[in-house]
Structure formats: structure tokens, C-alpha cells
Amino acid sequence: MSYRAPVGQIDFILRHVVPYDQVARTERFAEAGFDTANAILTEAGKLAANVLAPLNRNGDLTPARLENGKVRSSPGFAEGFRAIAEGGWVGLAADPEYGGMGLPQVLNMAVAEMMAAACLSLQLNPLLTQGQIEALEHHASDELKALYLPKLISGEWSGTMNLTEPGAGSDVGALTTRAEPNGDGSYRITGQKIFITWGDSDMTENICHAVLARLPDGAKGTRGISLFMVPKFIPDENGNPGVANDLRVVSLEEKLGIHGSPTCVMSYEGATGWLIGEEHKGMAAMFTMMNCARLGVGMQGIGVGEAALQQAGLYAQERNQMGPIIRHPDIRRMLATSRAEIFAARCIALACATAIDLERATGEAEHAARAAFLTPIAKAYGTDIGLRAADAAVQVHGGMGYIEETGAAQYLRDVRITQIYEGTNGIQAMDLVGRKLADGGEAAMRLLDEILDGAKSAQADHPDLAHEVWHSAETLREGTQDMLEREMPQRFAGAAPYLTAFARVLGGYYHLLAARSGGEAEIGLARVFIRRVLPHFATDLTEALAGLDDLANLDDDVLTGQSGA
Amino acid sequence: MSYRAPVGQIDFILRHVVPYDQVARTERFAEAGFDTANAILTEAGKLAANVLAPLNRNGDLTPARLENGKVRSSPGFAEGFRAIAEGGWVGLAADPEYGGMGLPQVLNMAVAEMMAAACLSLQLNPLLTQGQIEALEHHASDELKALYLPKLISGEWSGTMNLTEPGAGSDVGALTTRAEPNGDGSYRITGQKIFITWGDSDMTENICHAVLARLPDGAKGTRGISLFMVPKFIPDENGNPGVANDLRVVSLEEKLGIHGSPTCVMSYEGATGWLIGEEHKGMAAMFTMMNCARLGVGMQGIGVGEAALQQAGLYAQERNQMGPIIRHPDIRRMLATSRAEIFAARCIALACATAIDLERATGEAEHAARAAFLTPIAKAYGTDIGLRAADAAVQVHGGMGYIEETGAAQYLRDVRITQIYEGTNGIQAMDLVGRKLADGGEAAMRLLDEILDGAKSAQADHPDLAHEVWHSAETLREGTQDMLEREMPQRFAGAAPYLTAFARVLGGYYHLLAARSGGEAEIGLARVFIRRVLPHFATDLTEALAGLDDLANLDDDVLTGQSGA
């Protein structure tokens, strides 16, 4: 499996599609100019292609396993993780005060895409560690920060996110894990957590669990939840791993894919933990972790989709059936539309990351609103496209695609999780039409206005493409207005297709910007997207506005297939 | 995994959606009235739910394996196959002269759906055996028929289809397997075949391989290919399995799914075979097998999709996250649209089978043209929907969907093959816009006229729904006219979305017919389909007519991700 990191395309997107120039002009990121950015991406691309990609198949064939209560990672993973840690990649965007490089999130996310493309199972570990670093930076006490951040940032220790319980998935507020004060500033944590990614490993000397639990006086629901730092080994007075904490891995899940990533059932049995942030404000800290992780998961979808398409494209070039099959119109259609969608998703995700950087550098609310609005789109569209691209890649291979040895099937199995974890794509869509339109549509309309303006300015260069984009944004503006006038359950019934429609219009806009500044390749991909993919936004919108009534009126027995009909 | 056979819905479709009444009025099928049909479906439903469904997980967990050159099937499969054979299900539609029941294909296909839903890996065996029975009935000499048909129809022996070679997949004409006359009416067959489903098993006492090979005087390409019967054991003078033939299973493939179905690499090493049909006319016989198998594969997609949706629906009823999740609008959307599409695909496939029956019973060319036109749609749409439904079923389960023990992932892995084998869905789409429009669009237009008329007659009962369907058929008529005026490569570039558009319009029509004759359930599903799914046909058609140029103009390096862009 060879993988070529799309450094050139990412560099192009930073220069011509997303406002990276604004990021580089801020004081905070003054040292992260285009040349620095390119050098970082090039280095990360080499690590991904040369060190991580060769491990991907190992993870699938020799899954992480549980031996005497300890997770033994897949062959080569420990060395791969070392290479990531020693390159400083875990702390790329972290606070320099604690050893981080303080670089923009947009570079961190571009790097995340490349590493995920190369070896998704392994990359999950630094991604979740980064989420924990973010949460600590924003919410933890100085003491906790001083103790944990340097170790996490250096990759000596790794971090996990403990949210889900058997009875509390999307409904986080239903959790039953208890936290009781010990009286010395620490707490006793008791409960069971499931779906804990990299809940244990032999790659780092300590594992830091960020665990949601309820204090004795915590209210029911999400308002009574606090977040705790529960290390596998309690740090001694020198900050080194000391005595073992009262927690253990109960079992690992057998999953469809990402076999190299151990998914743990964790048991906390009076484990010692320390509060991260304030009592009962655990959800705020968790959301900090999750927002970072959500965008990161979007990048995972894009990365795996890219890797799968590369493999399929190279196969199509070599495979002869009445000439190389890459010349067959239907094969070209699959590769070209998938590639155009991957480009669109990448632009959306990097635009989201840029907004995060601008918010951090300037503190302006407008950037925060843009980042918040784009996060669910970047997550859901990025992972939907990742699935579609990996699926198309299997199909391009024909019968060989169904044979595990080819590797195409692994991409499909692996990428499938990205639509589920860190909030299913349905949850993302509800977030978009719920919370993210709660400003009366201001963030949405601001974005649509930007597209309308941008399309107008592109009219002289690319009249047909610009017209299509302008028209789609105008139609979406009307659809958004319509959506805003609806009650929440009505919105939810169309949330997923609305998210897709928005993503496609955004994708058309970014492709148009790329066509304006790019060469034949960018113009070619823009034509494919705007003429073949973008049009689907219109019927996505029709479905989005079809409302709840027809769905609500169906008998449950019809939905379960237990009626005669 | 419980599975409830959709006997009630299939019965409804036969009575109110497809012209089964016409089939039952023919002399040939005079004994297959509605009551008989219902009794057969009910019996098959019981077999599927009670005997076959419990085997499905066995096949996944304990795959078929090769031991000393022989295939050992998954636990319980031999007993399952026995039950199918002894019930007479292999020969349901076969010639009574040789022990078949002579019943309509539409019943056979409905039964195939239920058995595939219950245990796809096992059902592949009788499906392929049926394809071989068809080929022998239409093309073989009386001697071959007398020797093989009774054994195949009774299920004592099973049949395979040997078409693909390492260098000859979609390009069948490139095959290199040789056939040399022995001078006694038999031939020596030499060559290697790949992707041979159930190429060996311990479930039947003999395996009959239908093998494509080239005679010494055979022309290059598909015109020089002949079809041979090559049994594992050469029948002795009493027609019982005699000496072993010179053929062997080289290896089994490790696949994404259908682990219970052994996919063999076969080696023919001077094996003895007998010509099926005429010299150099092997493709005609193979197409007889393939057309039957293609519709059968469409049914497989529908069946597995149905089974996956049932499981997901029941889970959604039980799983509580702020109330049962089946009440959540986005979960309902996934279940309802998938179910409405499965219903549409089922109607299309059963309409295709009905046309086959009417052609056989009346010999009228119109029915043959209808069957030929609907076959690629039934195969590709049925399997595309099967995939989408199984994918939605995983998503409905959330994190549990990614855990293998849940079973949702197996449906997704299993159904993925149906879009690939018996001609990839891309090949189906090219068949539709190529060969199936080669009549100048007569068959297509006749079908569209029927939809337009049907929609008009429904206007009084369901004005809104009827209008949508009428309008979509009219738009598709114009799109089809446009397609007909194009050169073949231009058509091929839009073949897949054209097929989907046609399927959706057809689906809208059949839902409308169902709403006219049905109750609340049918009207409810029709509303979901016509308002939420059907509208997508319009942008499918836009993509279908976007032409080849944008695809052709892209550099191959852009498609493979090897350029900078």
C-alpha cells in the first residue's frame, strides 16, 4: 500500500481557498508563514507515507489484544507512535509554555488527515491525546496543567476520553458513574465506561483518562456532570508514574474495522481522580475535547477516502480490460466525482480549522461562530465522503475489491467508524439545524453571503461555474430561511439532507475559488464537482424540507417490518 | 438474529402492483393462482426464518475452508442445503419433465429473496445451480439434459459458473482456457478460473462446473468461446458419480464477507467436459445463466437489506436515549426511506420476473423486451439499495453497529459483494444505456407510457402523489430521448445515474399503485418515497446528462492523486 501525501493540494488550498494568509498575519501565528507551513506539511507527509502507511495492514491482520489485563498493540505501532511523539507532532498546536509548538490548528488538522490516511488505528491515539490537551489547556487548574501537559505533549503519556456508558450514548446525561470527594482534593471514581479508544496500550508509560462522572450533589441530566483526570498510574512526587490506580480494562470489542485500535470496556473501581475545571461543568470541558476531535474525525474520513482513491486510481491505471480501465467512462466517473468531493470536504474542514485559528488569534466572535457552524458539516460530510470514496474504491477494483488481501476492503471497514464516533452524523446534523441555527441563522447567512459575493466576483473568469454556484447559494438561502421558521422536530426530520446540501454548496464555492487561482487540474475538478455533484444539493434540500409528518405518521410496525406491509 | 419473511408484502405486490394475474391466467401457469402462490411463499418464509436464518452467523464465524483439496462447509450448512433440496426449492421453476415444479420465476425469485435474507452464503449455492439448470434447459442436448437435470433439480448435485480468469473479468473475451476434442464427443479442458462460488462443497455428491473455454478453431474475443459441462466426478453408466475428473480447487479467497460461501480458484488440468449447446456459442448459454443470476442477485440485495432493516428497526424500538430512538426524527428518516426504497426495488425485481414468466408463457416479444430492460435495473438498484439499507441499519445501531457481535456489520459486509458479482453495477448500467436502448428506446418508452397512463388514472385518488410521479416520468422521457441521441461513450459517462433515475421513477410508480390498492401502511410508505426519495431522480438525471467531456479531460494523474493537485 503506497500512499502519497497530498501536500501540494493542501498547500494550494491554504494559499488560494481558505484565508490562511489572515492566520499568518496575526501576532499569535506570525511565525507560521506559507513557507513554514509547507515545510511542516512536507515533513508530516514523509512520516505518514514512509513510517505510518507500512503499519496499516499490521493493525488489521494482528489486532491489538488483551493479555493479562494489558493491551498489547499491533506490530510496529509502538515504534510508529514513538516517531510521531519524537517529531513533536502530538504537540503541534499545543501551548509552547508546556512544550507545544503553538502552531495553527489548520496545520495540525492537515497533518491529522495525512496520518489518518496512512494508519487510522494508530493515529486515533495522538488525536485523542490532543483533545485532552485542549481540554486541559482551557479548563484545568495550573497544577494539573503543570503535571500532565508536558507529558501528554511530548507523547510520553497518552490521553483518552471516557464518555459513553452502556445506557448512555448520545444521551450523555443518563450516565451513572459516580465521583465521591476524598477530602484531600481528589475523588473516588466508580463506574463502567464503554467504547474507550486506546483505553490501554504498551506504547506510553502512562494513560490519562478524562472521565465524566456525577458528584453526590450533581443534578440529573447533563448539568450535574463533572470531568475528572484519572491516570492509570498516579504520578509520584516527581511527576513520574507511581502506584497503579484502581481501574482496569475489562475487555476489548471485536469490531468491523480499525482492528489496530483497542476499543476498551473500562472499569473504574474507586479510582483516584482530580477535577478538570469546575464541579458540574464537565460538559463544557468535554465539548472542548469533542469539538477538536469532531473536526479531527472529519479529517480522518477525508484521509482514508484519499488513500483509498489513490490505491483505486493506480489499480485502474494498471488493470487492462479492453484497455486500461481508468479510460472507461464509468470508472472515471467514480474516481472523478469522489476525488472532487474529497477536495470539497478538505476545503470545508480546513476552512473550519482556519476559523478556529482566527478566533484564537483575534478573539473575534465572528470567527468563533464560523468555526462552530462548520464543525458539524466538516465532521459529517468529511466522513460521509470518506465512506463513499472508500466504497467507490472497492467498486473500481471489481472482484479484487472484495478480497481482503487487496486492502480496499480494509479502508471501507476502517472508515465506517468515522460516521459513528464523536457523535453520529445524525447528531451532527441535529447540532447544525439546532444549536448552530440558534443565532437566528446569522452565521449561516453570513457564510451564504460570502458565497454569493464570491460567485459574483468569479463571474468574469468562469461565468457558467460561477452562475451555478451563485444560484445554488441563493436557493440554499431561501431553504435556510424556511428551515429557520420550523419547530425543532420538523427541522430534525430534514437535518441530515440539509447538512449535505449545505456541504455541497460550500464545496461548489471552494471549487470555484480553486478554479480561479488554479490550473487545468483545479479547473477540471471544479467542472466535475459543479456540474455533476453540486446539482444534487437541490434535491437534498427538497428532502430536507419534506418535514416530519410523513415520517411520524408511519406505524412503528411498518418501520420494523413486523406488520404485513 | 430473528428474521420475519415479508410474505404479506410480497403477496400484496403480486395482487396489486405487478401483473401476476396475467401470469396466473396463462395456460402454462394455470395452476399457480394467488392461493397457491401464497401457500408457496408462506412455506418458503418458514424455511427461511426457522431453518436458514439460524445458520447465518455460523457462516461468518466459521468460514468454509479447504482441507486436503476439499471444501468443508460451515456448521449446519449441509443440513440447511438438504432442507432446501428436499423441499423442492431448487427446482421450483424448473421443467417438470426433469422433476421441476414448473412454477413461475416470480415465485422463485420471491423465494430467493427470503432465503438470501436468511443466509446469503448458503443461498448462493441453489441460486447458481438454478442458473445452470436454466442454461441446460435452453441449450443442452437431450442426452446432457437427461443425465444432469434430474440430479441438479433434486439438489443431489449442485452447479457452478466458471467464467472469470485472472486476465479476463468484465472482458470475458480475453479468456485463455482451452478445450480440445477427444474425438469421442468429449473435450479436454485446460486452464485456471477464479472467483468460482461454491466451486467445491461437502453438501452434494457431485459438482457440475459450467466452464467457458475456447476450441482450437475458436476466434479471438467472445465469438470464439464455447461452454462445457465439466463434472467433478464423471457420471458412470448408471448416471452416478464415477471417477474423479482432472480438476481441483487450488485455494479459497479471504473476503470482506459471505465467509460461508467458498470462493475458489479452480484448476482444470485436461479435465473431461461435454459441450453445452453449439460450438463457439458459449456466450449465449452463459447469458441465459447470467440473466437469471443477475435478477437473483438483485433479490439478494433486497433480501439482505430487508433483514438488516428489520434488525435495526427492532433495536430502535428497544434502545432508549431520551425515549425509544425509533421516535427520533433522524432515525425514522433512515428507516423509512430505506424501507420505502426496498419496497420499490422489490416491485421492480418482481415486475421483471413477471415479464420473464409472461414471455415464457406467451412467447410475446413485448414481454421479452420488458424483462431484458428491467434486468439491469433490478440487479443494480436492488443491490445498491441493499447496501444503503444495510449501511443505514449499522448507523441506526450507533456504536453497537460497529461491533461484530451485533450482526449489523455482517449484513453490510455480506451485501457488498452483490454490487460486484454477476457483472458490476457499472456493467449493468452500460448494458441499460447500450444494449437495452438499442431498440431505439422502444422498451423504455413503452414503460414510461405505462407510468404516465397509470399516474393519470391515479389522479383522482391521490392527486399530489400522482402528479409527482407523472411529472417525473415525463421528465425522464425527455432525458431518455436526449440519451438516445448520444454516442455510446457519452452515454456510458452517465449510465449509472441514469439507471438510478429510472429506478426511482419506476419506484414512484409502483408505490403509487400500492397506495391506490393498499391501506394506511402502503399510503404512508408511498408518501415517504414519492416526497423524499423520488425527487432525487431529477438530479440523478442531471448528472446522467452531464456527458463525458469533463471526465475525459481530467489528467489521469489527477484521478490517481499522483499530480500535485
For residue B336, the model assigns a pLDDT of 98
Q: Encode A278-317: b = buried (16+ Cβ within 10 Å), e = exposed.
A: eebbbbebbebbbbbbbbbbbbbbbbbbbbbbbbbbbbbb
Contact B441, B484 (CB under 8 A): yes
CA distance A100 to chain B (A): 30
> Looking at chain B, how many residues does it have?
565
Question: Do the chains contact at A336 and B256, CB–CB below 8 Å?
Answer: no
Rounded to the nearest 5 percent, the helix, strand and coil shares of chain B are 60, 15, 25
Going along chain B from its start, the domains and CATH numbers come out as: 434-555 (1.20.120)
Question: Do the chains contact at A306 and B421, CB–CB below 8 Å?
Answer: no
**Residue position matching grid coordinates 480553486:** A514
C-alpha cell at A351: 476552512
Burial of B283 (0-12, 13-18, 19+ CB in 10 A): buried
**Residue position matching grid coordinates 452531464:** B546
Q: What residues are paired with A193 via a beta bridge?
A: A266
Run of H or E residues at A157: strand A157-162
User: Residue B398 CA to chain centroid, in angstroms?
Assistant: 29
Question: Do the chains contact at B322 and A493, CB–CB below 8 Å?
Answer: no
pLDDT tens digits for range B406-428: 999 999 999 999 999 999 999 99
Backbone torsion region of residue A104, taken as left when φ is above 0, otherwise alpha when ψ lies between -120 and 50, otherwise beta: beta
Among the listed residues B224, B244, B221, B226, the one whose alpha carbon sits nearest the alpha carbon of residue B234: B244
* Interchain CB contact of B321 with A (< 8 Å): yes
Is residue B500 classed as helix, strand or coil in its secondary structure? helix
Q: Which residues of A touch B513 (CB under 8 A)?
A: none
Question: Do the chains contact at A254 and B404, CB–CB below 8 Å?
Answer: yes
pLDDT tens digits for range B492-520: 999 999 999 999 999 999 999 999 999 99
Angle at B443 between CA B442 and CA B448, to 5 degrees: 95
Residue B565 has pLDDT above 60, yes or no: no
Is residue A377 classed as helix, strand or coil in its secondary structure? helix
pLDDT tens digits for range B232-249: 999 999 999 999 999 999
User: Residue A17 CA to chain centroid, in angstroms?
Assistant: 20
C-alpha cell at B56: 447465518
Q: DSSP labels for B301-369? A: HHHHHHHHHHHHHHHHHH-BSSSBGGGSHHHHHHHHHHHHHHHHHHHHHHHHHHHHHHHHHH--HHHHH
Question: Do the chains contact at B419 and A395, CB–CB below 8 Å?
Answer: yes
Contact B437, B444 (CB under 8 A): yes
For residue A564, the model assigns a pLDDT of 61
Run of H or E residues at B148: helix B142-154
* Interchain CB contact of A379 with B (< 8 Å): no
CA distance B362 to chain A (A): 32
Contact A289, A135 (CB under 8 A): yes
| B399 closest CB neighbour out of A169, A321, A531 | A169
Contact B104, B40 (CB under 8 A): no
Mean pLDDT over residues B280-308, rounded?
93
For residue A169, the model assigns a pLDDT of 84
A-contacting residues of B 105-144, CB under 8 Å?
A: none
The residue of chain A nearest to residue B318, with distances taken between CA atoms, is A560
Query: What positions of A carry a catalytic annotation?
Result: 422
CA distance A271 to chain B (A): 26
Q: Which residues of A touch B558 (CB under 8 A)?
A: 339, 521, 524-525
Residue B223 has pLDDT above 70, yes or no: yes
* Interchain CB contact of A460 with B (< 8 Å): no
For residue B564, the model assigns a pLDDT of 60
Contact B207, B232 (CB under 8 A): yes
- Residue B450: phi and psi, rounded to 5, are -60, -40
Contact A383, A389 (CB under 8 A): no
Run of H or E residues at A516: helix A495-517
What number of C-beta contacts closer than 8 Å exist between A and B?
298
Listed in sequence order, the DSSP H helices in A264-328 are 282-318
SS (H, E, C) A244-261: ECCEEEEEECCECCCCCC
* Interchain CB contact of B499 with A (< 8 Å): no
Contact A47, A89 (CB under 8 A): yes
pLDDT tens over chain A, length 565 residues:
689 999 999 999 999 999 999 999 999 999 999 999 999 999 999 999 999 999 999 999 999 999 999 999 999 999 999 999 999 999 999 999 999 999 999 999 999 999 999 999 999 999 999 999 999 999 999 999 999 999 999 999 999 999 999 988 888 899 999 999 999 999 999 999 999 999 999 999 999 999 999 999 999 999 999 999 999 999 999 999 999 999 999 999 999 999 999 999 999 999 999 999 999 999 988 888 888 899 999 999 999 999 999 999 999 999 998 899 999 999 999 999 999 999 999 999 999 999 999 999 999 999 999 999 999 999 999 999 999 999 999 999 999 999 999 999 999 999 999 999 999 999 999 999 999 999 999 999 999 999 999 999 999 999 999 999 999 999 999 999 999 999 999 999 999 999 999 999 999 999 999 999 999 999 999 999 999 999 999 999 999 999 999 999 999 999 999 986 5
Give the C-alpha distances (Å, rounded to integers) separating B404 from A254, A364, B57, B61.
6, 46, 10, 10
B-contacting residues of A 5-64, CB under 8 Å?
A: 6, 8-9, 12
* Interchain CB contact of A541 with B (< 8 Å): no
pTM of the complete model: 0.98
In chain B, how long is the greatest CA-to-CA distance? 77
Question: Do the chains contact at B398 and A409, CB–CB below 8 Å?
Answer: no
A-contacting residues of B 429-458, CB under 8 Å?
A: 429-430
- Residue A191: phi and psi, rounded to 5, are 160, 175
* Interchain CB contact of A559 with B (< 8 Å): yes
* Interchain CB contact of B398 with A (< 8 Å): yes
Query: What positions of B carry a catalytic annotation?
Result: 422
pLDDT tens digits for range B346-373: 999 999 999 999 999 999 999 999 999 9
Residue B465 has pLDDT above 60, yes or no: yes
Q: Which residues of A touch B118 (CB under 8 A)?
A: none
| B551 closest CB neighbour out of A167, A171, A332 | A332
- Residue A29: phi and psi, rounded to 5, are -115, 30
> Looking at chain A, how many residues does it have?
565
User: Residue B277 CA to chain centroid, in angstroms?
Assistant: 24
| % of chain B beyond a pLDDT of 70 | 99
pLDDT tens digits for range B101-126: 999 999 999 999 999 999 999 999 99
C-alpha cell at A49: 507515507
For residue A563, the model assigns a pLDDT of 81
Q: Which residues of B touch A416 (CB under 8 A)?
A: 394, 402, 412
SS (H, E, C) A453-511: HHHHHCCCCCHHHHHHHHHHHHHHHHHHHHHHCCCHHHHHHCHHHHHHHHHHHHHHHHH
Q: Which residues of A touch B543 (CB under 8 A)?
A: 532-533, 535-536
Run of H or E residues at B266: strand B263-276
C-alpha cell at B217: 478453431
CA distance A231 to chain B (A): 25
For residue A420, the model assigns a pLDDT of 98
